[in-house]
Chains A and B, each alone.
Chain A
């Protein structure tokens, strides 16, 4: 009977710790450089932007969104940095750590080698969209969200 008791207790502890570890498991952050414009025959929206398609169209008034650079970063410690880059732009993301409300991020948008825009943001469960400069007949957008 003692063996069964210890077995049960062990199982319970393993479940709790296993679950706790799973609950605190790493999360992935998607970062993208998006060119939005209006065309007669818009291409299908990239799958990463499906969840905010309506929002993007409503806020920015464009009907086509193309990803020109992206990055998927799995955050383990919450203090990592990464880069999403296209030919002329790059978005450097420096995660300063995880808070109960989300990841504290320092974002730098580079236009070639110049820092065009710098911002600090707390990235929660909801996406962050940054309106960048006008590019041709379109608009550069920076999109970040936790997957």
Chain B
């Protein structure tokens, strides 16, 4: 079901025919005014058709040149982000390389840390006297004692009762 506006537009364009045309024209309250409006619309249409025809471009080559340059610039602008983002995506080879370097650095650092730790551990080792004996002929009453002093950082084997010797034995 067409509205009045649709029928009006179709009537102005001359697209109503037959019973539809007769029925619409009968429904018009003021047919002469409508006819006058139809004529004005036709005149306006003819005028617009005449005025809006394609005009010949005076500087066609320059316009096309400018247009191509603008398109090329737009194309570069859209491609540029792809080129900058591509290096950020590392290929597998580079990832492997980076992993190997990281692993190597880790191993070297670990080794140095462990090696530096070892001497401090070794420094805790006490010197120990496992056993000792004195020649009974040279020290029949000799006694032996062992001292391990963590504070003094020295281990001492203490003998008593060894035969005393003259001072000439202190010669180099």
Q: Is the CB of B159 within 8 A of A132?
A: yes
With A86-B172, A129-B154: A111-B138 Cβ-Cβ less than 8 Å: yes
In the bound complex, do residue B107 and residue A134 qualify as a contact, i.e. CB atoms below 8 Å apart? no
Q: Chain A 77-107, CB within 8 Å of chain B: the 1/0 string?
A: 0000000001111000000000001100000
Assembled-state Cα–Cα distance A19/B108 (Å): 10
A117 within 8 A of B: yes
Q: Is the CB of A136 within 8 A of B100?
A: no
Q: Is B9's beta carbon under 8 Å from chain A?
A: no
Does B52 have its Cβ within 8 Å of any Cβ on chain A? no
Known contacts A132-B159, A134-B162; decide if A121 and B100 are in contact (CB<8 Å).
Answer: no
Number of residues on chain B facing chain A (CB within 8 A): 48
Report how far A88 CA is from B172 CA in the complex, Å. 8
Is B41 part of the binding interface, using a Cβ–Cβ cutoff of 8 Å?
Answer: no
Residues in A lying within 8 Å of B, measured CB to CB: 1, 4-5, 8-9, 11-12, 15-16, 19, 23, 35, 37, 52, 55, 58-59, 66, 68-69, 86-89, 101-102, 111, 114-138, 140
Chain B residues within 8 Å of A129, by CB: 154-157
- A26-B172 Cα distance, complex, nearest whole Å: 29
Nearest residue, chain A, Cβ from B125: A124
CB distance from A136 to the nearest CB of B (A): 3
Interface centre among B118, B127, B152, B167 (most CB of A within 10 A): B127
Contact (Cβ within 8 A) B162 A116? yes
In the bound complex, how far is the Cα of B167 from the Cα of A87, in angstroms?
12
B153 touches A126 (CB 8 A): yes
Complex Cα distance A134/B126, Å? 27
- With A19-B111, A59-B152: A133-B128 Cβ-Cβ less than 8 Å: no
Q: A59-B152, A115-B135, A118-B133 are in contact. Are A88 and B127 (CB under 8 A)?
A: no
Cβ contacts under 8 Å, A136 to chain B: 165-170
Say yes or no for B88: interface residue by CB 8 A criterion.
no
A117 closest partner in B (C-beta): B134
